[in-house]
């Protein structure tokens, strides 16, 4: 599986995919969802997910998952 360099990890987009096939794919059970890394065009970085997307075994359910702000940042905002 593709592992981005540590300095690029926060800059990549994520999308939620769902397994639409009748069998488990790469550890993802039937009907289950998982987030995956994509490039700026929305293409999965992992070659296995690119292939499954092409043969329509998986489907992108939710575009670009937004990261939750860190808890410390929330605590500081509440104090002000």
Q: 29-64: per-residue pLDDT in tens?
A: 998 898 988 887 888 889 988 888 888 877 777 666
Residue 19 is assigned to a structural domain of this protein: yes
Predicted TM-score (pTM) of the model is: 0.61
Long-range contact list for 41-50, CB < 8 A, 24+ apart?
Answer: 42/13, 42/15, 44/17, 45/2, 45/4, 45/12, 46/1, 46/2, 47/2, 48/1, 49/17
Domain that includes residue 51, residue range: 9-79
Residue 41 is assigned to a structural domain of this protein: yes
Residue 1 is assigned to a structural domain of this protein: no
Distance CA(42)–CA(1), nearest Å, equals 17
- Number of folded domains that form the chain: 1
The whole-number pLDDT of residue 59 equals: 79
Between the alpha carbon of residue 28 and those of residues 20, 35, 53, 57, the distances in Å are 10, 11, 14, 11
Residue 71 is assigned to a structural domain of this protein: yes
Residue 4 is assigned to a structural domain of this protein: no
Q: Tell me the pLDDT tens digit for each residue of 65-75.
A: 666 666 665 55
Residue 3 is assigned to a structural domain of this protein: no
The whole-number pLDDT of residue 14 equals: 86
Q: How sure is the predictor about 25, in pLDDT bands with cuts at 50, 70 and 90?
A: confident
């Amino acid at each position: 599986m593709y592992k981005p360099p540590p300095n690029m990890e926060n800059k990549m987009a994520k999308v939620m995919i769902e397994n639409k096939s009748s069998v488990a794919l790469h550890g993802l059970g039937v009907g289950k969802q998982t987030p995956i890394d994509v490039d700026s065009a929305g293409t999965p970085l992992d070659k296995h997910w690119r292939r499954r997307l092409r043969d329509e075994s998986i489907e992108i359910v939710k575009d670009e998952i937004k990261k939750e702000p860190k808890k410390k940042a929330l605590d500081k905002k509440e104090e002000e």
